[in-house]
Amino acid sequence: MHEWSLAQAIVESVVEAANNKKAKRVKTLEVEVGSLAMLDKDIILEAIKTLSESTKLEGAEIKIYEEETKFRCKKCGKTWSFNEEKEEIEKRWEDSKIKDEYGTDDLPIHYFPELIFTMTSCPSCKSKDFEIIGSREITIKSVTIEV
């Protein structure tokens, strides 16, 4: 549950970029969250809104959307999605979950999405030689400013 610190880094970076471009304010901000990191997008939205009060980001139109993380096996070509096997992974890695001060249990991929290579393999040939397609964590997709 590190959504607040991610939000804070996003707000600081966007405000800094806006200042560098001598913008009056930020008009829109788009953030993409990959399903793999299991981030809570409502918390991120709330955090960004709260943290942007009295900055150039205040009042901007903020959009946060989730993108399903997919995988492609480099050996046999099989494509599959994280969401399909999420429940099964949660069960298998139950004892590796990380507790936090809010009482939430998070899988290690919440902090290190790339650990998915440890936690799963290709459903058809069992190889670990697969790649991640699309977003895996959180990225700023677009920012528009008013100069």
Partner 1 sequence: MEIEFKNKLVEKNTAKIKKIIMVCSGKGGVGKSIISYALTKAISKNGKKVGLLDLDIHGPVEQLFFRKRSLFGNKEGLEPVYSDSIKVMSLGFLSKDEPIPIKGRYKEEILENLLSEVTWNSLDFLVVDMPPGISDELFFLSRNFREKLSAVVVTTPSLLSLNVVKRMVKLLHQEKVKIVGIIENLSYFVCKHGEVIRPFGEGVEELEGEKVIGKLPIDPKLEEIVALEEEIDYANTFWNSIKRVAEIIERS
Three-state DSSP at 52 gives coil
CA 50 to chain centre: 19
Using CB under 5 A as the binding rule, whether residue 133 contacts Zn ion is answered as no
Binder among 38, 43, 76, 132 for partner 1 (CB under 8 A): 132
Residues 27-46 that bind partner 1 (CB under 8 A): none
- How far apart (Å, rounded) are the C-alpha atoms in residues 71 and 51? 34
Task: Please provide residue 49's backbone torsions phi and psi, each rounded to the nearest 5 degrees.
Answer: -60, -50
Which tokens in the block code for residue 103? 């009482």
Binding of residue 13 to partner 1 (CB under 8 A): yes
Bridge partners for 73 per DSSP: 130
Contact characters 65-104, partner 1, x per CB under 8 A: -------------------------------x-xxxx--x
CB nearer to Zn ion: pick between 75 and 99:
75
> 75 contacts which partner out of Zn ion, partner 1, none, CB within 5 to 8 A by kind?
Zn ion
DSSP 79: E
Residue 87 or 101 having the CB closest to partner 1:
101
Element (DSSP H or E) covering residue 18: helix 3-20
- Total number of residues that touch partner 1 (CB under 8 A): 39
Judge residue 107's burial from the number of C-beta atoms within 10 Å of its C-beta, 0-12 exposed, 13-18 middle, 19 or more buried.
buried
Which residue, 35 or 137, is less far from partner 1 as judged by CB?
137
Residue 115 interacting entry, from partner 1, Zn ion, none, C-beta within 5 to 8 Å by type: partner 1
Residues that bind Zn ion (CB under 5 A): 73, 75-76, 78, 122, 124-125, 127
